[in-house]
């Protein structure tokens, strides 16, 4: 993308700020965030920051492209306040798309989630059955349905991107998320501080860990190609939490066993793995940062 005016909602958060900073090199970028999960400190000086909510009536909507990343991104946030989850994740999505559409924007790339696949140990294609087992997943499925509506009814390019376990580490823009940060970031920080990471169950659960730099490239490519429909952004490889702790210990020079506790979460997703072939065929996208390289980057700040 070059010389476009871009709105990134959730733009001061983890993924949003990485995207906004990247795009600002060659575009005019506005980052909107209500600072519930974000901080302006994540943003470079050449990004215009607007303190506001996706529920506002006067969004900075005069843009060429909308990247809608804003969301209550944790299942716990939704279970604690389902009404707020719907307002932010669904109403906020519709409100933002409506406002940019009225200004002539017809290219939207938005965040969905891989959680709707449930527990899967084989690569998940986008056309497999999905299910809303939590309020968070229901809100993202509703977002995808509205994306389909805007595509069919208003002829907009609506690219829904299903993220798989996005990480960067506390050396990047994840630190402010604290308990809501990816497990890679949390476990690395705990081990570096001599603390035992807590694992629900026996540690055999697996995740398709995808570095935020690869996510950002995928989002930009989705806009460049004016993609429409649903696309996975994941590596197609999965690693268990036990493997994760072992690899982090090795890099940090520690030897700390995790603490295993009974899993308190209902409808817990035990395993995730993407099938990224649709995205690859549409744009040529492939993840460039391997699990090993990503862990090296996460742990570099502690050496």
Q: pLDDT value at position 79?
A: 85
Residue range(s) in the chain whose domain bears CATH number 3.90.25.10: 169-206+238-274+289-300
Strands (E), 90-194: 107-113, 157-163, 166-167
Residue range 238-248: mean pLDDT, rounded: 98
Options 136, 167, 231, 302, the catalytic residue: 136
Strands 166-167 vs 210-211: parallel, antiparallel or unpaired: parallel
Overall average pLDDT of the 224-239 stretch:
98
- Please name the fold of domain 169-206+238-274+289-300: UDP-galactose 4-epimerase; domain 1 (3.90.25)
* Residue 74 predicted with pLDDT over 90: no
Please tell me the predicted confidence (pLDDT) of residue 245: 98
Whether the predicted pLDDT of 230 surpasses 90 = yes
Question: Once rounded to an integer, what is the mean pLDDT over residues 268-272?
Answer: 94
Q: Could you give the percent of the chain with pLDDT greater than 70? A: 100
Half-sphere exposure of 62 (CA within 13 A, CB side): 1
What integer pLDDT is reported at residue 77 of this predicted model?
A: 83
**76-126 pLDDT, tens digit each:** 888 889 999 999 999 999 999 999 999 999 999 999 999 999 999 999 999
**pLDDT (mean) for 125-137:** 95
* Listed residue (168, 165, 203) closest to 73, CA to CA: 165
What is the rounded CA–CA span in Å between residue 100 and residue 160?
17
For 173-185, write each residue's pLDDT tens digit. 888 888 889 999 9
- pLDDT for 242 beyond 90: yes
What per-residue confidence (pLDDT) applies to 180? 85
The answer to whether domain 5-166+210-236+275-282 has CATH 3.40.50.300 is: no
Q: Are 150 and 99 in contact (CB under 8 A)?
A: no
Query: Which DSSP state fits 248?
Result: H
Mean pLDDT of 16-23: 98
Q: Averaged over 256-270, what is the pLDDT?
A: 93
Task: Indicate whether 219 pLDDT > 90.
Answer: yes
- In 3D space, the residue among 271, 269, 257 whose CA is nearest the CA of residue 199 turns out to be 257
CATH 3.40.50.720 maps onto the chain at: 5-166+210-236+275-282
Strand partners, 242: none
In the numeric block, which tokens belong to residue 87?
């307002």
Residue that is written with structure tokens 């210990």 in the block = 249
pLDDT of residue 76: 82
The question of whether 302 is a catalytic residue gets the answer: no
Q: What is the mean pLDDT of the chain?
A: 96
Listing DSSP states for 187-232 in one string gives HHHHHHTTPPPEEETTS--EE--EEHHHHHHHHHHHHHTT--EEEE
User: For residues 66 and 96, is the Cβ–Cβ distance under 8 A?
Assistant: yes
Structure confidence at residue 73 (pLDDT): 80
pLDDT band at 267, cuts 50/70/90?
confident
Q: Is 0.95 surpassed by the pTM of this model?
A: yes
Strand pairing of 206-207 and 239-240?
antiparallel
pLDDT over 90 at 160, yes or no: yes
């Amino acid at each position: 993308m070059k010389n476009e005016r871009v709105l990134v909602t959730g733009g001061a958060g983890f993924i949003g700020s990485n995207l906004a900073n990247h795009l600002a090199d060659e575009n005019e970028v506005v980052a909107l965030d209500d600072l519930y999960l974000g901080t302006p400190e994540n943003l470079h000086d050449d990004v215009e920051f607007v303190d506001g909510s996706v529920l506002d009536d006067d969004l900075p909507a005069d843009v060429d492209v909308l990247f809608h990343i804003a969301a209550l991104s944790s299942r716990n946030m939704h279970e604690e306040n389902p009404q707020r989850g719907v307002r932010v994740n669904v109403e906020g999505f519709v409100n933002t798309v409506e406002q940019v559409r009225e200004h002539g924007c017809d290219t939207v790339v938005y965040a969905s989630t891989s959680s709707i696949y449930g527990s899967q140990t084989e690569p998940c294609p986008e056309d497999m059955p999905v299910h809303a087992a939590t309020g968070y997943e229901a809100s993202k499925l509703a977002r995808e349905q509205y994306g389909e509506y805007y595509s069919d009814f208003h002829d907009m390019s609506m690219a829904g991107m299903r993220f798989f376990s996005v990480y960067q580490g506390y050396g990047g823009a994840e630190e402010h998320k604290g308990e809501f940060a990816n497990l890679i970031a949390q476990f690395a920080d705990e081990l570096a501080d001599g603390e035992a990471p807590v694992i629900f169950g026996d540690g055999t659960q697996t995740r398709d860990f995808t570095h935020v730099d690869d996510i950002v490239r995928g989002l930009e490519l989705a806009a460049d190609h004016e993609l429409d429909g649903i696309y996975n952004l994941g590596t197609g490889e999965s690693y268990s939490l036990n493997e994760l702790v072992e690899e982090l210990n090795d890099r940090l020079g520690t030897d700390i066993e995790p603490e295993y506790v009974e899993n308190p979460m209902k409808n817990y997703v035990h395993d995730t793995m993407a099938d990224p072939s649709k995205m690859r065929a549409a744009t040529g996208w492939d993840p460039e940062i391997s699990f090993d390289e990503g862990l090296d980057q996460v742990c570099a700040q502690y050496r």
